[in-house]
Amino acid sequence: MKKKMLSILLAVALLATMLVMLAACTASTGLDEAETEAETTQELETYTSYDEENEDLNDETDNDNENDNDDVIPIAWTPTSTSGLPSLHIRANGTPFVNRELWIDSTFELAGGGNAAHHFADATGRIRGRGNSTWWDLPGKRPLRFTLTSAQPMLGSANAHRNWILLADHADMSLLRNYITLHIGRQLNGLYWTPSARSVHLYVNGQYQGVYLLTEEREVGPGRARLSAHADPTISEYFLELDWRLFRNGTEGEDFFRINTSRAGYSGSSIANVPNRDSLYEIRWPDATPERMEYARAFIERVSRAIRSRDFAAISAVLDINSMADFMIMQELTRNPDAGFSSWFMQIRGQGDNRRLYMGPLWDFDITYGNWYADRSPYGLFLSGQHYWFQNLMQVRQFRTVLSQRFDTMAHPAITASTNHVRQLATRYQSCFARNFTRHPILGTAVWPNRTPPQMVALNSHAAHVDFLLDFITRRANYMRRAL
């Protein structure tokens, strides 16, 4: 009888705990979910730069060169038992989920999450869609970007900014691949700046859209990338992106420059012949004048020649070694299929003999850690087949030593801490993440890029996807300790 009573009491206590957590994730924050969308849209002038850029990237303001990872949103938020995820409410004059290029006037409110100091209301700005594959291939839950009229800190950030990103992570049913990658990256001091991120419930015009990752925009400014522009292209610093798709929407020499990567002169820009395809680069900041375009092209050519020489002294003269080592660790850890292909950011920093190419920030990891139809094994080194820089650097003994040492002393402890942290988040906010799959019932179904593999489709709960992710990371980290 006593055992039966004890079982009943334990069940009641567990039910009460679950109800408290569910209430935290579903409680109203003052906006009506049943509110209908506004019927009118207002077509706004689009930015002059390409679809993933923003106005502030072209502000040629001087900033100190320093690592700003500690100036922005804290590395992690501390889970609490009395609050759910924060809620971002957007009232837009139309829907931002249809036309990726259309800016729509909006107002923004942040509430919930247990810290009233982070709340704000009635901030004005505009919003639109963003992304490439995540926009075109995953229309059920599309990513967004927004710019505020006045700079606003977010969720404890020390610096206020206008430009922010909302990642949908629809292809990642753990909803945590981008988050954990950025969390690890911010603990590696070779990467001068890694964006911060935090999960939020998103509402647009009163309609719940699911759990999104509120992330910093990749731009130049205090608390983000700190670079200095100058009229002299040999003095100015640069924020670059490699993306093979640039030829689709731009003109070579004006919007991007080409680095031919093959000794044999291969000139293709497709995903075929991966290690030797041409690399296309865009100057994201400052304004891409012809003189700056030619200088940046010549500098990347110089880096490429040094890497091909496999001469460590020559490589060290143009490339920041710790930055590249940390960047490669993260690409290898994640088994990032986009490595050397797209969303690959870098910076030309410093003056005179101190001028180097620095890698980062990290970006776009939703189809990593085995969440890719062609490659789900946590074993084997794969970067050498992704890009000729990796291919050659892995043959340089001194670089390989740096890579191994930084993994053992810095990356591995960061990976361990981050997997523990994400496990805690996933457990504490289980009911909050579950709301996403009530809105988007895709668990146990085939979603791009995993349309056919039965292993991924078989994971029919959020918890199972988190288990898969963390198990993959643990196995891969242990393998890399032996292999690097």
Report the first-to-last Cα separation within the chain, whole angstroms: 59
CA distances from 74 to 135, 182, 216, 327 (A): 28, 12, 12, 21
pLDDT score recorded for residue 17: 47
Check: CB of residue 359 under 8 Å from CB of residue 393. Answer: no
Check: CB of residue 36 under 8 Å from CB of residue 205. Answer: yes
Does 436 have pLDDT greater than 90?
Answer: yes
Percent of residues, the chain, with pLDDT higher than 90? 61
Does 450 have pLDDT greater than 70?
Answer: yes
pLDDT score recorded for residue 115: 82
Annotated domain spans of the chain: 30-216
Question: Count of residues for the chain?
Answer: 484
Q: Calculate the dihedral angle through the C-alpha atoms of 226, 227, 229, 234, rounding to the nearest 10 degrees.
A: 170
In angstroms, rounded to a whole number, what is the distance separating the alpha carbons of residues 169 and 100? 17
If one counts every other C-beta atom within 10 angstroms of the C-beta of residue 269, the result is 15
pLDDT tens column, 255-313: 989 887 654 433 344 444 444 467 889 999 999 999 999 999 999 999 999 999 999 99
Does 97 have pLDDT greater than 50?
Answer: yes
Between 151 and 16, the more confident residue is: 151
For residue 249, the surrounding DSSP H or E stretch is: helix 246-249
Does 2 have pLDDT greater than 60?
Answer: no
Instruction: Please state the pTM of the whole predicted model.
Output: 0.84
In angstroms, rounded to a whole number, what is the distance separating the alpha carbons of residues 346 and 253? 19
pLDDT tens column, 132-190: 788 778 788 999 999 999 999 988 888 899 999 999 999 999 999 999 999 999 999 99
Instruction: Give per-residue burial for 395-417: e unless 16+ CB within 10 Å, then b.
Output: ebeebeebbbebbeebbbebbee
Average pLDDT, integer, range 419-439: 97
Check: CB of residue 25 under 8 Å from CB of residue 435. Answer: yes
What is the pairing mode between strands 344-349 and 356-359?
antiparallel
Q: List CB contacts of 163: < 8 A, sequence separation 6 or more.
A: 54, 55, 56, 145, 146, 147, 148, 217, 219
